[in-house]
Structures are given as structure tokens and as C-alpha cells.
Structure 1
Amino acid sequence: MSGKLFLVPTPIGNLEDMTFRAVRILKEADVILAEDTRTSAPMLKHFGIERKAYSHHQHNEHQASSEIVRFLKEGKKVALISDAGTPAISDPGFFLVREVLKHDLAVECLPGPTAFVPALVNSGLPCDTFVFEGFLPVKKGRQTRLKKLTSEQRTMVLYESPHRLLKTLEEFIGYFGEDRQASVSRELTKRFEETVRGRLAEIKSHFENNILKGEFVICIAGAPEPEKKAKYNRNDE
């Protein structure tokens, strides 16, 4: 009987967000794959998970996937975790899932933490429809992507690192205007969690005068809908 690949979300900061089911699956797994074993080891130890974790990251996932497929065909349970949050969401995992499905093997993703959902809901911006952009390209394709987003009418959600935040906000002001409403969250679920809401210019000013620490989630209001041209009926004239 074939095994199954489990995608197991882990806390993005607060260990209390770990689910009972996630702990059980990790304890039952024959193999645990982790983005960085040094990061995952304290978390696994905290929950009494004694299984050794093996590295599975963007630099080795192509080579490792064939061996993981073999494990699954042997009936083993394989659990994949990232450093924080849900695997494959701006983290390794997509390639492995695709390869496992190509071999008609089972994949199951547990529900759990991911940074962009609380940031979006907490932003005060419309979240009935939205677009998740993850990390924008650092160099090639960045300006093209930003230009395309200027006409996006849905709320936009992006990730950014501390050392690029101010430059990114400056770019957003240039493309979306300093008055575009936005929200920036950092250190979500942790002790110093912070969300700053307002105009892009106000948010940039805030972070120019405060310590930049933690991972950032940026939510930006979509472009306003173009005014609809009035339709006239000749009979009404």
C-alpha cells in the first residue's frame, strides 16, 4: 500500500498555534522533511517529536524528490514542514507536491498557520477577494510586475524582508501614489506584533523612524474602479 505525503503547517511565531493533529502526524511520520533542520529542531523538541528531520529546501528538492517518491511507494508516511507557516506558500514544497502527484500518490495538506491570512484580515482592507503576490522579484521582472499591479483592483498582499522594506515602500509610492491605503504587519503572533495602517506615505514615515525587525506582510488597497460612463437612451432625451 502506498504511503502519503503530508504538508504540515507550523507556527509562524507563537508555538500555541500548533494543532493537535499536526503534532500527531509528525509523531507518526516515518520521515520528516524540514526546510532548515536547525530551525525546526527546537520546535520538534518542544512538542516531544523525536523523529529526526532531514533537510529539504529549494537547493536540493529537485534531487531529493525521486527518493521521497520511492519512500512513498514503499508505504512510508512523509511529513514536510517549512521554517514557519504552510509549506509551498513562498517556501519549498510545490515541486515535491507536483512530483508526488505525477506518480498518482496521495498528498494531504493540514490547515494551519500562514502569515498573509491574519495580516489581510487585520488590515481593514477588503478581503472578500484579494491577490497574493508573495515576494516580488528582487531584480529581473520587478518593475514589470509592479507596473502590472497598478491596475489591480483587488487588495494586494505581499511579503518583504526587513532590509528591503523602505525601498519597497518607496517603490509602491511611486507606482500606487502616496495616498493609497495600506497596512504593514510584522512579528505576527509574537510578543512585539505590530500592524501599521494608513496612507503609504504615513507607513513609510513610521518605519523610517522605528526598528526594522522581523518578517513583513504588506497589504495594499486595490486601484479604484474607473468611473462608468453614463449611458443615455435617446428616448429619454
Structure 2
Amino acid sequence: MRALLVEDEALLRQQLAASLREAGYTVDEAPDGEEALYLGREFPYDVAVMDLGLPKMDGIQVIKTLRGEDRHFPILILTARGHWQERVNGLEAGGDDYLVKPFHTEELLARLNALVRRSAGFSSPVVKAGPIALDTSSHRVTVGEAELDLTSFEYKVLEYLMLHPDEVVSKTALTEHIYEQDCDRDSNVIEVFIGRLRKKFDAAGGIKPIETLRGRGYRFVAPA
């Protein structure tokens, strides 16, 4: 999942970015409101963490502008302790949840995980499709009783496909969601990840949940 992290305090931003990456997120960072608005317009995020007290453009205005331009990815607001009106304003502007500083990183990650799941229509941290179970908290994937040994990028590809079942997802879309903005992206690598996933599913139970639609992309279909 690709996350936009907007925080003007450099040390906190670096710490949060490191925690998000360790948790499996692809992260783009913005130190001010103008950069946040640019990135939010430019890239297809799955979730955002938005501080409200930002230089150049405050977080409320960033959220209002993105929502006014039909950017619907969930946004977790970071607010200073005691500023209840700021929290209310942030939610009314289009934020989906809030966290008061100081906070525990584990709570932030849990809230982000819940926002991503709910935006895809799932309430449980374990996404099930036939015999396949993907735990978005632990990043474990099982087929029946067998656990699949996946690399981080294989997991990211599978997670995105399983959170968008029966949808046609292009290689470009997958590339945008698993790589950060400064990475050297090669959409052909997606074919490699898909090929590896298919081999592992086949070895685990002879199932084929990932379809190829020539010239269009891939589709995850729950096996019987």
C-alpha cells in the first residue's frame, strides 16, 4: 500500500516514515502543505497521514482541496493535544480519523491498517478468498494450513490485488502502488512478481487466483 506522509517536524517525519516502511508501506514524504497537495494530486495513494499545522498551506486546506478534486483516499489527521476544534475541523474537511500527539506508533499503524481495509470494504484484518487468507497485520499469507513464503514486493502485489477483488488492475497501477516516487520503476518487474506468486499458489494447492487480461492487466478471483 502506498502512503503519503505529511509532517513538518523533520525528526518525527523520518521516524514515522521508517516505521511505515518497516510495516510494509511504500511512503512518499511531504514537509509542507504545498508539497502535500502536489503529491496528493500526482500519485494514487491508498492512505495519507496529515499533520494540520503545516507551513505554506495548512492541512485543513490541503484536505479540502483534495476532496474537492475527488481524491478519495482515506486520511488520518495528526493534531496537537487539546485542540479539539482542530480535530472537528479536520474531520469536517474530509479527514477520516485522527490521532492526538504524542501517540504510539503501533496505534498509528493499526489505525492506518483499518482505514485501508475499510476503504476496500473489509472489516477484518484477515482478508479471505476461498482457501487463501491474507493477514494485513502480520503480513502472513496462508493457503489452507500452508503458509506462503513471500518477499515484501510479492506480498505488496498480492495484498493490493486481494483488496481489489474482481477488478482489472493494470501493471502501471500496481507499479504506482508498490514503488515510491523516486524509485526507478520498471513495470515489467510486475510480471516477475506475478509469475512467482502463481508458482507458489500452484505449489501450495494447485490454485490459480490471478488472471491475466492481455493488454489490460491482472484480476484476482477467489478460487473455489
Structure 2 length normalisation: TM-score? 0.28
Structure 1 or 2, whichever has the larger Rg, is 1
Q: Which structure has greater helix proportion? A: 2
Structure 1 length normalisation: TM-score? 0.27
Q: Which has the higher contact order (CA 8 A, sep 6+)?
A: 1
